[in-house]
Amino acid sequence: MSEKTVDRVAGATPVLLARKIKGLSDRAIAWIFVGPTIFLLLAVNIFPLIWTVNLSFTNFKANRINRVVDYVGFSNYERILNDPDVWLSMQATAHFLFWTIFFQVLIGFTLAWLINKKFKGNDVWTTIIVLPMMLSPAVVGNFWTFLYQPQIGLFNYVIGFLSGKDASSFEMLGSVDLAPWSIVIVDTWMWTPFVMLICLAGLRSIPDYIYEAAEVDRASKLRQFFTITIPMVLPFLMLAVLFRGIENFKMFDLVVQLTGGGPGSTTELASIHLKREAFEKWRTGYSSAIAIILFVTVFGLASIYVKALNKVKER
Amino acid sequence: MSNFFNGLLKLRRGPWEMLATVLIALGVFMLMQPFVLWGFTYSFITTLVGTVMFIIVSHFRE
Amino acid sequence: MSYSVTESSSMVKWVAGTLVILYAVITLVPLAWILMTGLKTPPDSISYPPKVLFEPSLEGYVNLFTTRTRVSKETLAALPPPTNFAHEIVRNRGMVIVGPSKFGQRFMNSVIIGFGSTFLSIFLGTLAAYAFSRFKIPMADDLLFFILSTRMMPPIAVAIPIFLMYRNLGLSDTHLGMILLYTAVNISLAVWLLKGFIDEIPREYEEAALIDGYTRFQAFYKVVLPQAATGIASTAIFCLIFSWNEYAFAVLLTSGTAQTAPPFIPTIIGVGGLDWPAVAAGATIFLIPVMVFTIMLRKHLLRGITFGAVRK
């Protein structure tokens, strides 16, 4: 029965059309294949983005829909770019960004260098080290608040044990001085493996014969390290640094769970500040302008990142 | 160095991309530096110019 | 044995190995602590000094999956004997189980949204990646950059208009809304990664198939897809892990029906503040699938985190 239907349909279709469908030109197939992706991205990313740009010139408040919306020109941008609070949140971001990248590169490169000595079982240990970076930052960050508890937390206990201080004498998350470092510690714990993996790839991309040639020239090990290893790994390292830079510039989940921006606003990173403006104070127009500033910054960094990506790809 | 300016004049991709990269990096630095407020104030426009420039010049010939 | 300049001496290897293992052990401590806390009783979990040795208990898991209420001693004594271990644990604390908690439902939401968005992004991503890999598309580089740049967007910046858009479309707090959103984020990774994998499949296979009278479509799903199976599988795992872990969109756009586990786990409240064993139990159940996936993925990890640029 069903076969008959098929035959009937096939018979009814004009030969020319059937051939056209069967042998769609490559160009048509290309657009059919790419189209849905582009459409989805336009609908879920670009359309909202244009809307944000539009909102950023208004004084719209999303919790008061019926209020008359006025176009205020660039005044949102003017206010933001002269607002010491926003500036402070950017400085908090800078502190977080600088130190996480510093520690992650330092520890990550060292680990990669050690792993590249190819000791027995190095791949198993590499896989184990990588685990934290794949986990949910929100869930893990939430649990770290438990490790940071002044009296009962494991972190405080270990630090207290090692330094001889009382474990309840310091609060990692509650103190203005320590909170910025507490988020650096957790982020470093989580993302050092990322830098390590990329550095490892860089180290493994260096062919042996370069070292052999250097050995023939009697270059010292230290000299080899600075004239061969470092320059050859540098493009990979740049890639890792840029990517961590972008990710941490927009850091949200981990830090929200750890400190929620506090105490006060000491760990209020850019994204957290934005969230407070947009979803707690409901200053939608104003926060849209912040969003655009963050977006342009990320977009700029992303274009440098893709350039670095292509550079590494050519290797 | 003269190569760099030659490249700029001949609208070659390499040096222009470099210039745009420097502008973006400068803008990002100005945005987050803790030293002077006017740096923060003009950071956005710097990054924006760098980014737009990057998009345009990445279509120049190599 | 011949002398090699690049092969390290056994002494160097031993030192390097020891240092790396030391780091690995330290890095595992927080994870081990999650596992252990999940098996502690609430008093054990907040004892000072922190207990490394303890009597394991399933109280955290019982508390995670149930809601309980405190009852008087008389009521407790009047109840029939407990039918299983869960009832027994709860009654020893002077409480009775009144129903299931929301955790099961939140976990299921994570599964539905995770698999839904992964399926969709792989489906669309494979098609797009094939087109980018095999056909001449005008401005292909710009399109690819555009696709990648969408992933770089700060979620909070995108969340404002999405929030308004979803409110108007009635998509807030729905599974469909979250699936579409996560698909849009994941598709960039899918396209870039899969393009790398498909680039590696020699064109000759398809060309032979085309000469044999296959259409492009047939060549695509009978020749290319089976060859790309490993690549598709590992890309799918990456997408799944992203949706599984995502927090920012979930916390801003969902509150009840479609809320996933990450925003829910930190809100598990016990008597007198957070019930850490229950939180740890939830975290354990939530994190273990990702760890298993990570171990499965280990060969393709580097590709995944660099959008396919570094292939080792």
CB contact under 8 A, C160 and A287: yes
- List Cα–Cα distances, C294 to A129, A238, A250, C190, C232, in angstroms: 11, 25, 24, 17, 15
Chains that touch C (3 or more CB pairs under 8 A): A
Closest by Cβ to B48, choosing from A84, A296, A301: A296
Q: Is the peptide bond before C155 cis (omega within 30 degrees of 0)?
A: no
CB contact under 8 A, C152 and A125: no
Pairing of strands C269-270, C95-100: unpaired
CA distance C145 to C153: 13
Average pLDDT over residues A117-130: 89
The 10s digit of each residue's pLDDT in A171-204 is 888 888 999 999 999 999 999 999 999 999 999 9
Q: Residues with Cβ < 8 Å from C170, sequence gap 6 or more?
A: none
Average pLDDT over residues A231-255: 91
Q: C155 with C248: CB under 8 angstroms?
A: yes
**Which residues of chain B neighbour A101 with C-beta distances below 8 Å?**
none
Mean model confidence pLDDT for chain A = 87
Q: A108 with A194: CB under 8 angstroms?
A: yes
Q: What is the pLDDT of residue C5?
A: 59
For chain C, list the domains and their CATH numbers: 11-101 (no CATH), 104-305 (1.10.3720.10)
**Which residues of chain B neighbour A84 with C-beta distances below 8 Å?**
37
Q: What is the pLDDT of residue C88?
A: 84
Q: What is the pLDDT of residue A23?
A: 59
ipTM for the predicted complex: 0.92
List the beta bridge partners of residue C96: C69
Domain A75-313 has CATH 3.40.640.10: no
- Kindly list the domain boundaries of chain B, sorted by start residue: 2-57
Gap from A93 CA to chain B (nearest CA, Å): 7
**Which residues of chain A neighbour C312 with C-beta distances below 8 Å?**
201, 204
CB contact under 8 A, B21 and A94: no
Q: What is the pLDDT of residue C312?
A: 64
Per-position pLDDT tens, chain C of length 312: 345 556 778 888 999 999 999 999 999 999 999 999 999 988 888 887 888 888 888 988 988 898 888 888 888 888 888 888 888 888 888 888 888 888 999 999 999 999 999 999 999 999 999 999 988 888 888 888 888 888 888 888 888 889 888 988 999 899 999 999 999 999 999 999 999 999 999 988 888 888 888 888 888 888 889 999 999 999 999 999 999 999 999 998 888 888 999 999 888 876 556 788 999 999 999 999 999 999 988 888 888 888 887 876
Pick the residue of B18, B19, B31 with the most A CBs within 10 A to test the interface with A by mutation. B31
- Spacing of C-alpha C185 from chain mean position: 14
User: Which residues 83-102 of A have a C-beta within 8 angstroms of C?
Assistant: none
The 10s digit of each residue's pLDDT in A90-104 is 999 999 999 999 999
CB contact under 8 A, A302 and C279: no
Residue B47: closest C-alpha in chain A: A297
CA distance A177 to A170: 10
Residue A304: closest C-alpha in chain B: B21
Q: What is the pLDDT of residue C298?
A: 87
**Which residues of chain B neighbour A299 with C-beta distances below 8 Å?**
51
List the beta bridge partners of residue C66: C100
Residue A302: closest C-alpha in chain B: B51
